[in-house]
Amino acid sequence: MNLKNILYLYAFILIADLNAEVNISNQVDNDHRIRSFAFSGPFQHDVNMDSLSRIINAKNYSFIKALKIGVKSNEWRSFTATGSNGDHNVWQVYPNIKLDESVIAVAEIFSQKDQEVVLRTVIAKATSEVWVNGNVKFISNDPSYKNTIRFNLMKGSNKIIVKLVSLGETWFRLHILPESRVEITGTITQNDGKLVPFAPVNIVVPSQNKKFIGKTDEKGVYTHIIYPVYEKEMHDIYVFGAEKRNSFKNIGFVKKGARLTINQTIKLRNSINGRVLTPDGIGNQFGIAVQAVGLNKQGNENSYLLTKYTNKEGSFEFNNLPEMDYHVRLHGKDDFKYFLDENSQKRIFNLTKTGKNYHDLKIKITFLSRGTWDKLGYLDGVLSDYSATNFIDQENKLWIGTWTGVTVYDGQETFSINHENGLPNYPINDIIQDRNNNVWVSSGDLATGKGGLALIKGKKIEKVFTKFDGLGGDYCGKLSQNINGDLLIGGNGGFQIYNGNSFEIYDYTNGLTNGFVNAYFVEGNSIWIGTSDGLVHYNGKKFKVYNEDDGLPNNNVYTIKKGPNGKLWIGTENGLAIYDGTSFINLFSKDGLKSNNIQDIYFDENGNALIGTWAGLNLYNGKTFILLHPETVGYEFGLDRARHINKSKDGIYWISDFSGSGIVKYDPGRLLILLNPTISQRIELLR
């Protein structure tokens, strides 16, 4: 270690030792997420930040002493965010904070050199000010502060002070992008030189499935700031203009600290389009996954994939592909079906600079969907056409969680429970039956954070639990049970355990990422917890966090299930992860998923996965994806927001739909034959 690094390390240790019991140290060159903060509060909102900044930035200021503002003193409390984004849940530190009260957060930032950095903040349910080394850098309710905030860090120690005035359940993240970030800017024009305003300009790192989304301003100028930097990976830039005038450029490898100018001209590019037909060649097939597969110079398929689903007319189109040769294939029932040439070989589509358009292609494929569909909605006695969850109890009754309450369906009749019966007047998020056959219903509204946990016995509400009864928060989400039969409650209150008498709570203050729980999977004494800032494994004693740095495709985890082969399947906001205990294999829409937003997973008796997404329901056999959708076989209702999947004893699937179809019934055991694919006439035959 050279002398400069030794002195830097000594300064770091010395300053940290002055505040040994309060950890606020962050090294921006190693981690851009400001994870460690000290908090003090609550105070009145009218804090003189100029005066406070001078006090805290004074040499040898000690965080051991309480912070006094006016007549009020509050101790400093430090926490380190463990999640993927480094989110800080201030509301869980101060659960009794009132509207318009303020909290002061302080972090020490160590920089290896003098450098210009970029500040990125997300601050929810609060107004805020950010001060750096005694100078204000950002005020949230002042429009004069631009979206890109730049300032200089000094070599060594820097102090950041954040003032947060509560507007509800406050949380925030603070990222500081060092000089090693990449900045790419440019102008987008048409062939005639005219500027192209407000055009989407995306930079993609294909191997990492990372997409940096942006657009041009009113002058046709775009700017991208890329961090972290993937120096060893190829980067592409896509521009999407009006009337299918687009642009693509491979910009190759990008070095850390690069400042690039890349201008692009949009134009009509070579494209591939066509239709997928029914076996007789007369009708069109909706909802078929069509995939463009890139070829390398040797003619072998490479890692480039792009998937489109056919529309109601059976049409598909690829119109802004990278310049290379391609195969085009469909996702079939068991395997891929390729477009073939006159020699029955896989057809090569040349989209290089010497290539051409391939239009009006046609291909026939057998019907991929089977079974019959039906739905239950408002007109059938269900409280709402919008359902986020459902549950099948010990008596095979279907409990339907809706936007406005719970409806119970016994196969013949329905009865409902809503706010008029004492249920919290918020959307139903989950339903579960405990070992004593009691039914628990969680509810909550994300916008307000309100809701509750209801205990139902028979047809009556026994009790509604809220914060006043010991819950960590009123918004209640996912429900489960541990090995002892204790109830596990998710939501804004953290990882909450109810043993029938009292609540035990773990949240942000205990190292549970940002403390917002979306999902549980119980495996013996171990519990996997999906949060909105990472995947967490709890062994009964401590938490281990998995995030994007470990290979997770996205930090917002919605569902966790165990597959037939023992691997863990994790549905996130941006991709599906399969974890074998060592590493993650990730699947995305490019691979065939209808959407990257994964809401639920259910495994059938053959080991296939039914995957509920924010754009529909997929069946995945380990190789190909099939869209299970009523309209693919002529029904006149959709299934476009598949939130939750269940299966009754008679083999019927019940899918909660949040796009207006209520609860959708799918019976794969009945074979549907279309007499004429162009009309909705159907004959149902028992398989």
Which domains occur in the chain, in start order? 3-177 (2.60.120), 182-268 (2.60.40.2070), 272-364 (2.60.40.1120), 388-611 (2.130.10.10)
pTM for this model (two decimals): 0.92
pLDDT over 90 at 681, yes or no: no
Q: Strand pairing of 526-531 and 517-523?
A: antiparallel
Dihedral (C-alpha) 139, 140, 141, 143: value to the nearest 10 degrees? 80
Average pLDDT over residues 110-133: 96
pLDDT band at 59 (very low <50, low <70, confident <90, very high): confident
Q: From residue 660, give the alpha-carbon distance in Å to each of 302, 383, 402, 478.
A: 40, 12, 11, 22
φ, ψ dihedrals at 292, nearest 5°: -95, 125
CB 92, CB 508: distance < 8 Å: yes
Amino acid letter for position 495: F
pLDDT band at 16 (very low <50, low <70, confident <90, very high): very low
Average pLDDT over residues 220-244: 95
pLDDT over 60 at 674, yes or no: no
pLDDT over 90 at 686, yes or no: no
pLDDT over 60 at 584, yes or no: yes
pLDDT band at 671 (very low <50, low <70, confident <90, very high): low
pLDDT over 50 at 679, yes or no: no
Q: Could you tell me which residues come within 8 angstroms of residue 21 by beta carbon, excluding any fewer than 6 positions away?
A: 63, 64, 78
pLDDT over 50 at 13, yes or no: no
CB 104, CB 93: distance < 8 Å: no
Q: From residue 676, give the alpha-carbon distance in Å to each of 279, 284, 368, 436.
A: 11, 11, 16, 51
Predicted confidence at residue 8, as pLDDT, reads 44
Predicted confidence at residue 672, as pLDDT, reads 52
Average pLDDT over residues 329-343: 96
Predicted confidence at residue 257, as pLDDT, reads 96
Predicted confidence at residue 670, as pLDDT, reads 66
pLDDT band at 209 (very low <50, low <70, confident <90, very high): confident
DSSP annotation of 425 reads S
User: pLDDT tens across 252-262, in order?
Assistant: 999 999 999 99
User: pLDDT tens across 489-522, in order?
Assistant: 999 999 999 999 999 999 999 999 999 999 999 9
pLDDT over 70 at 386, yes or no: yes
pLDDT over 60 at 14, yes or no: no
Buried b (16+ CB within 10 A) or exposed e, 60-88: eeebeeebebeeeebebebbebbbbbbbb
Give 2: exposed, middle or buried? Use CB within 10 Å, 0-12, 13-18, 19+: exposed
Q: What is the DSSP string of 187-226?
A: EEE-TTS-B-TT-EEEEEEGGGTEEEEEE--TTSEEEEEE
φ, ψ dihedrals at 325, nearest 5°: -85, 155
pLDDT band at 458 (very low <50, low <70, confident <90, very high): confident
Predicted confidence at residue 207, as pLDDT, reads 87
pLDDT band at 645 (very low <50, low <70, confident <90, very high): very high
Predicted confidence at residue 296, as pLDDT, reads 95
φ, ψ dihedrals at 9, nearest 5°: -65, -40
Q: How far apart, in whole angstroms, are the C-alpha atoms of residue 158 and residue 466?
A: 42
- In 3D space, the residue among 579, 634, 630, 632 whose CA is nearest the CA of residue 601 turns out to be 579
User: pLDDT tens across 388-440, in order?
Assistant: 999 999 999 999 999 999 999 999 999 999 999 999 999 999 999 998 899 99
Predicted confidence at residue 669, as pLDDT, reads 82
CB 230, CB 216: distance < 8 Å: no
Predicted confidence at residue 104, as pLDDT, reads 97
- Looking at 329-438, list the stretches that DSSP marks H as alpha helix, in order from N- to C-terminal side: none
Beta-bridge mates of residue 536: 529, 545
Name the 3-class secondary structure at 394: coil
pLDDT over 60 at 373, yes or no: yes
Q: How far apart, in whole angstroms, are the C-alpha atoms of residue 233 and residue 205?
A: 7
User: pLDDT tens across 269-323, in order?
Assistant: 999 999 999 999 999 999 999 999 999 999 999 999 999 999 999 999 999 999 9
User: pLDDT tens across 146-191, in order?
Assistant: 778 999 999 999 999 999 999 999 999 999 999 999 999 999 999 9
Average pLDDT over residues 70-78: 94
Average pLDDT over residues 342-360: 95
CB 516, CB 536: distance < 8 Å: no
Name the 3-class secondary structure at 631: helix
pLDDT over 50 at 243, yes or no: yes
pLDDT band at 15 (very low <50, low <70, confident <90, very high): very low
Predicted confidence at residue 615, as pLDDT, reads 96
Predicted confidence at residue 27, as pLDDT, reads 96
pLDDT, mean over the chain: 92
Beta-bridge mates of residue 469: none
Average pLDDT over residues 633-637: 92
